[in-house]
Amino acid sequence: MIIVNAGIPDSGTDWAEGVFRMIWDHFRVTHCVHRPATHREVEQFFREADPEPNQIVTLQHITPSLIRLAAREDVLPFFCLHDPQAVVPAQMAGCDISYERALQRVTDAYRDLTYVCKMPGIMLLPQEHLRYQPESLVFQMATRLGRVLSLGSVIEITRRMAQRELQSVPNAEEEADCRTLATEIEGVCLRVDEAHSMGTRDCQEKAILTPSQQALIEARFEPLNKLLGFETRPLPA
């Protein structure tokens, strides 16, 4: 079996990879992980791919060989999504690239979604679900792999993933509850209890965009935002 763990930049593919590994570990399934980094590496990997042993392949490029291979029953595709209004400034800050390059990178990534949605059995993983409904997502991911996790195991995997991500968050509270921990995804720190306001990396980094830059993102991705339900949010005052 080959698990295709694809997604746009800053969308949660690291989190998804960790969940897949923990699911296989839970069921004592021997597996290996591959991370082809470039379009060429992805194309070469899937041109030569062997379904044995079980493989988890994390990537950000959709290639012709991958599209052809996805028609096989032993290939399970997943695709992580994130609001382009958050991804563009995150790419600018995280990769130290220009607005134009970040916008083009995200545009290219979402263009791949046209091909991804045609893959048999594709499962989309919105990052908003990673933040607010991680237990449900873990259960559904396991089911897609043909495995049924007990609710206790789902909670344990979610807790372990949250703790792993929390280690990279400075000044994190040691006694944060499971649901708060579960929202510590790829450096995004959200407080979901009513006593605290939410402070996210997305909102902070969005402030580096000018109104005209944000307007261009909203216009370019308007059909996608409507399709997937991403909200248009104003720049912080």
pLDDT band for 179, please (50, 70, 90 cuts): very low
Rg (CA), the chain: 18
pLDDT of residue 168: 64
45 token code pair: 């990997």
Structural domain spans, the chain: 2-228
- Which strands sit side by side in the sheet containing 75-81, from one edge to the other? 31-34, 54-59, 2-7, 75-81, 123-126
Mean pLDDT along residues 155-161: 95
CB 209 within 8 A of CB 235: yes
- Residues near 164 by beta carbon (within 8 Å), at least 6 away in sequence: 18
CATH number of 2-228: 3.40.50.300
pLDDT of residue 183: 42
More confident site: 172 or 72: 72
CA distances from 27 to 15, 90, 126, 140, 174 (A): 19, 36, 25, 16, 29
Which segments within 8-122 are labelled E, that is strand? 31-34, 54-59, 75-81
pLDDT of residue 232: 52
pLDDT band for 49, please (50, 70, 90 cuts): confident
pLDDT of residue 87: 86
Concatenating the DSSP letter of every residue in 66-112 gives HHHHTTSTTEEEEEEE--HHHHHHHHHHHHT--HHHHHHHHHHHHHH
DSSP class of residue 235 equals P
More confident site: 221 or 40: 40
Residue 161 has pLDDT above 90, yes or no: yes
Q: Model confidence over 76-133: pLDDT tens digits?
A: 999 999 888 888 888 888 888 889 998 998 888 888 888 888 899 999 999 888 888 9
Residue 222 has pLDDT above 70, yes or no: yes
Q: What is the pTM of this model?
A: 0.78
- Residues near 214 by beta carbon (within 8 Å), at least 6 away in sequence: 85, 206, 235
| Residue 183, number of CB atoms within 10 A of its CB | 21
Instruction: Find, among 12, 9, 14, 16, the residue nearest to 145 by Cα.
Output: 16
Among the residue ranges 20-29, 37-46, 49-58, 113-122, the one predicted with the least confidence is: 49-58
| Residue 7, number of CB atoms within 10 A of its CB | 27
Residue 30 has pLDDT above 90, yes or no: yes
Residue 193 has pLDDT above 80, yes or no: no
pLDDT of residue 191: 33
Percent of the chain residues past pLDDT 70, beyond the cut: 79
